Amino acid sequence: MSSATASLAERVKSFAQELGFELVGIAPAKLLPEAEYYPPWLHEGYAGEMAYLQRQLPARLDPRKILPDAASVIVAGVIYHTDSPMTSEINDPRRGWISRYAWGDDYHDFIKDRLEKLDGFIREQAGENYRSRFYTDTGPVLDRVFARHAGLGWFGKNTNLINQRLGSWFFIGEIITNVILPVDQPPPDRCGTCRACLDACPTDAFVAPYVLDAQRCISYLTIELRGSIPEDVRPQMGAHVFGCDVCQDVCPWNRQAAVTSEPAFAPRPGNLAPNLVELAELDAEEFRQRFKSSPIKRAKRRGLLRNTLVAMGNSKNPDFLPVIEKILERSAKGSTDEDAMLREHARWAKEQLLKSAPQTVERSWPET
C-alpha cells in the first residue's frame, strides 16, 4: 500500500470526523467470513416477514455485486444516545416506551446528508475515475459485517455492534468505493461469559448467543410486523409501543456509553415515555403531523395503535378501559378507521385489564 493511499485514508477519516461521525474505519470490499451465516439464518425463518432481507442476496453478501470494481468499504458511525430521562416519566404506568433511536428525527436523512458530503470529498481527492455507492440501512449491504471489519466494534451476543469506548448506541452508514485504501482490523469479542442481554430479553428472542429470532423480538413485533402480534408474546412486551432497548440497557459496555449533543436526536415532545391515551386517540392526520420525519412513521398509524393496545393491556391500569371501549364502539359501527386486527387487540387488552389488579411498572436505567 502506497504512502499516497495511506495519506488519503487519513484525510478521509479526518474529514468524516469533521462532519460529526464519531466512528470511522475501512473494510475490504469482498465476501467476508460472517456472510456465510446469513443465508442459513434466513432459511430458518428468523427474518419473519422481512422479505426485503432476502432480495438481492448476492449483493448483500458481496459488495462487488453492487459495484463491480469495489475495493474498499468506508464505514462511519454516529452516536444517538441522549441524556437519561426522568425516571418518574419512564415508570409512569400511563405511558409507553419508544426506542431511543426514534426519539428524534429520522436518522436516514441525517446520515445520508453526511455520507453525501463525505462521498463528495473523496471524489475530489481521488479524481475522475472515482466510483461509489453509499447507504445507511437502505441498501443491500450487511452493514454490521463491514462495520466490524472496519474496526468499529464487535458483535455482541445481542447481535448489536459494540464499541469498547463508546458502547452500542450508534447508527452506521457506508460508502462502497473502487478506491484502494488500507483496511482496519476487527476488534476481538469482548463479551466474555456475560449473558446479561440474553437473560434480560423479555420475549426470549435469542435462540443462542449471537443468534436472534426476529419473530420474537419486540422491535420486529412493534415495527416490522404488519399483522397480529402472537398472543403468547404480548404479555412479555410490557409498555413497548415502538422498538425496545432492553438488551442494550443491560449491556455493561453501555454503563458509561457516549452521549450525543446532536439536536436531531433529542427527544421530540411526547416521544419520550409517550402518553398511551394520546397515542390511542390520534387520527390519521394527527399521526402524520406528529411523526413527520420520524422513524415512528414506519409502523404506520395502524401498527402504532395495535402496539398501544398491547401496552394498555399489559399496564394493569383500568383507567384505559374507556379508551379501549371507544375503539371497540367505532369498530361495531363499521368505521373504516379500525379493522379486525385492531378489534382483536382491543378485546385482548380489555380482557387483560378486567382480570388484573393495578400494579406499578418499573423500568431500570443504566448508568451513564
**Residue boundaries of the structural domains of the chain:** 3-84+101-177, 276-358
Q: Are 139 and 133 in contact (CB under 8 A)?
A: yes
Return the pLDDT at 27: 98
pLDDT value of position 174: 98
pLDDT at 280: 97
The set of catalytic residues is 137
Q: Are 217 and 49 in contact (CB under 8 A)?
A: no
pLDDT of residue 1: 59
Residue 6: the pLDDT is 80
Task: Yes or no: say if 130 and 177 are a contact pair by the CB < 8 Å rule.
Answer: yes
295 confidence band (pLDDT: 50, 70, 90): very high
Q: Cell match 448476492: residue?
A: 58
pLDDT value at 320 more than 80: yes
Mean pLDDT for the chain overall: 92
pLDDT score of 333: 65
C-alpha cell at 119: 462521498
Lowest mean pLDDT among 39-53, 87-101, 264-278, 331-345: 331-345
Question: pTM for the full model?
Answer: 0.92
Amino acid at 248: Q
Predicted pLDDT at 361: 43
In this model, does residue 91 exceed pLDDT 80?
Answer: no
* Cβ atoms 202, 60 nearer than 8 A: no
Q: How confident is the model at residue 357 (pLDDT cuts 50, 70, 90)?
A: low
- Of 26-30, 135-139, 227-231, 353-357, the least confident: 353-357
Task: Give the per-residue pLDDT at 92.
Answer: 84
CA-to-CA separations, 42 to 51, 64, 211, 326, in angstroms, rounded: 9, 21, 11, 41
Q: Say which range, 154-163, 298-307, 330-339, has the weakest mean pLDDT.
A: 330-339
State the pLDDT at residue 140.
Answer: 94
Among 55-59, 320-324, 328-332, the minimum mean pLDDT is found in: 328-332
Q: What percent of the chain clears pLDDT 70, i.e. is strictly above it?
A: 93
pLDDT at 330: 81
% of the chain at pLDDT higher than 90: 85
Predicted pLDDT at 86: 59
Q: How many CA atoms lie less than 13 Å away from 266 in the CB half-sphere?
A: 5
Beta strands at 97-98 and 132-135: parallel, antiparallel or unpaired? unpaired
State whether the Cα torsion 272-277-280-281 is positive or negative: negative
Give mean pLDDT, residues 76-102.
85
Q: Which of 2, 78, 61, 34 is nearest to 261 (CA)?
A: 78
Strands, sheet with 72-79, edge to edge from the N-terminal-most edge strand: 23-28, 72-79, 170-177, 132-135
Q: How does DSSP classify residue 133? A: E
Higher pLDDT residue, 157 or 367? 157
Burial class (CB in 10 A: 0-12, 13-18, 19+), 20: middle
Average pLDDT (29-42) is: 96
Mean per-residue pLDDT, 301-324: 96
